[in-house]
Structures are given as structure tokens and as C-alpha cells.
Amino acid sequence: AGMCASATWTLILLHKAENHLVAYRQDYFSAADDLKQQATKWRQQATEWRRHAESLSVQLKNVDAKAKDAAWLRAQWHRDIETAGKHPYTEIAGEPALKLPRMYGTIPEKTIWLYWYHPQTCPNSANCVLSPKRQLLLDSIIHNKGSFRVELVHKEQVEEFV
């Protein structure tokens, strides 16, 4: 015997609903599995970051300890230098911190400075022979200097001015 149309239609709708429910469950469980995997990855990354932060904390403590040691050593060294009546720069460099050049204050502000050195033709100020081109350049500068002074400095004279 045959089924009535409404019963057939009900069975078809029931079958479709069951198929949708199965598909929904598969999607739901698949999404849940994806979320669980993502959560596991995040936990692992958080653990890795926590270990890294702990390592950095230990390193920072070591840096702080070394900085304190260096500060103590620097303070001790300064106390020793001051007690001995010395200056730190003099203690390190062997010379005073500010040593003015011999010619300091004797050269006018408006000065054109020139420097020349050549091991064979101009080893020092007493034995310097400029090439014709350089002599012409020097003569031109002197001729056009206006109110400026021209100072040709040789290798052995540098420390007198600087």
C-alpha cells in the first residue's frame, strides 16, 4: 500500500534534517578541533615567551650587578686619584687635560690656514721647496688675502698651533 503524500513529505523533510544535523555536527567538531589545536599552539608559544622572559630577567640581573660593580670600581678609582691629588685625565693620558698650544692667542682671528708636507720636497719648514704649481697657488692666496693673514704650517709646526 502506498503512503499518503503528507507522510512521504514528512519523511523527506526528516531525512534532510538528519543530513543537515550530521553535517552541522561534523562542522562543529571540525571547528572545535581547529580551536583546540590553535589553543595548544598559543599555550606552547606562551610557555616559550615565559621562558624567554625569565632568561632576560636573569640576564638583566647580571647586567645590573656588573653595572654596580663598575660604578663601585669607578668611584673607588676616583677617590684614589683625588686622594693622591691627581686629575683622572692626567692619570690616564699622562698629560694635563687642557694644554694650550705654544702659539695660542698670538694668531689673529682672520687667518687663512694652509698645510703642506711632502717627504722629499717639503719635510720641514727649513727645507721646503714648493712645486711651481703650489708656489703659484700660495702666491695667489697671498695676493688675494685682503685683510687676512696667511699661515703656511709645516709638519713639525702643527703642535705649536693645535
* End-to-end CA gap in the chain: 122
Q: Is the pLDDT of residue 1 over 70?
A: no
Report the chain's mean pLDDT, rounded to a whole number: 88
Residue 103: exposed, middle, or buried by beta-carbon count in 10 A (0-12, 13-18, 19+)? middle
Backbone dihedral angles phi then psi of residue 102, each to the nearest 5 degrees: -60, -35
Do the beta carbons of residue 141 and residue 150 sit within 8 Å?
A: yes
Sign of CA dihedral 26, 32, 35, 37: negative
Over residues 5-36, the pLDDT tens digits come to 888 888 889 999 998 988 888 888 888 889 99
Question: Can you tell me the distance from the alpha carbon of 54 to that of 104, in angstroms, rounded to the nearest whole number?
Answer: 59
Give the distance, in angstroms, between the CA of residue 158 and the centroid of all CA atoms in the same chain. Answer: 34
> What does the alpha-carbon distance between residue 151 and residue 155 come to, in Å, rounded to a whole number?
13
Note whether 151 and 112 are within 8 A (CB).
yes
Is residue 92 predicted with pLDDT exceeding 80? no
What's at 81, amino acid-wise?
I
